[in-house]
Amino acid sequence: MAIMLLRFCAAAFIALLTINSVQAQVRAPSRLPDPRSEFVRQCAPRMLGRWEHPEEVCGCLHDHAAAVVEDRDLREALLRGISETGVPTIETDWVPTSKQSEIGPTFTKIAKPTLQCMFDPAK
């Protein structure tokens, strides 16, 4: 009787381990947030009250205005400025000293797509 109980417990234990192993393999891998979605999530509250469709404006700024900035440091600084303030801005301490002279030309480059995004984001 004791041997039979021991075999039953061992079988139950092995079954439990197998089930837990299968469940661990079936779980979906955790996904990191999409950078665009995360930007829109941070940006949209800053646009409330300014624009009728803040998510569209933020998405457009990400996809069109910031996309024309080839330099990674300047682009990240621009996206940070938009998501923190709701307007295209770049603080000089957000970019390396060697690239700070490029801030002005960057704003010239993004002027047209920024205006398009803010006043007609659907196009």
Q: Which of 6-15, 26-35, 67-76, 111-120 has the highest mean pLDDT?
A: 67-76
Residues composing the chain: 123
What's the domain range around 90?
A: 35-119
Residue range 92-113: average pLDDT?
96
Residue of 112, 78, 65 lying closest to 57 (CA atoms): 65
Per-residue pLDDT at 75 exceeds 80: yes
Per-residue pLDDT at 107 exceeds 60: yes
| pTM summary value | 0.70
Report yes or no on 52 lying in a domain.
yes
Number of structural domains the chain divides into: 1
Report yes or no on 21 lying in a domain.
no
Alpha-carbon distance of 55 to 20, in angstroms, equals 41
Cα dihedral across residues 94, 96, 101, 102: positive or negative = negative
Report yes or no on 9 lying in a domain.
no
Report the chain's mean pLDDT, rounded to a whole number: 83
Report yes or no on 26 lying in a domain.
no
Report yes or no on 14 lying in a domain.
no
Question: In this predicted structure, what is the pLDDT of residue 10?
Answer: 52
Alpha-carbon distance of 88 to 42, in angstroms, equals 14
Per-residue pLDDT at 120 exceeds 50: yes
Report yes or no on 8 lying in a domain.
no
Report yes or no on 101 lying in a domain.
yes
Report yes or no on 23 lying in a domain.
no
Residue range 6-20: average pLDDT?
54
Residue 12's identity, in one-letter code, is: A
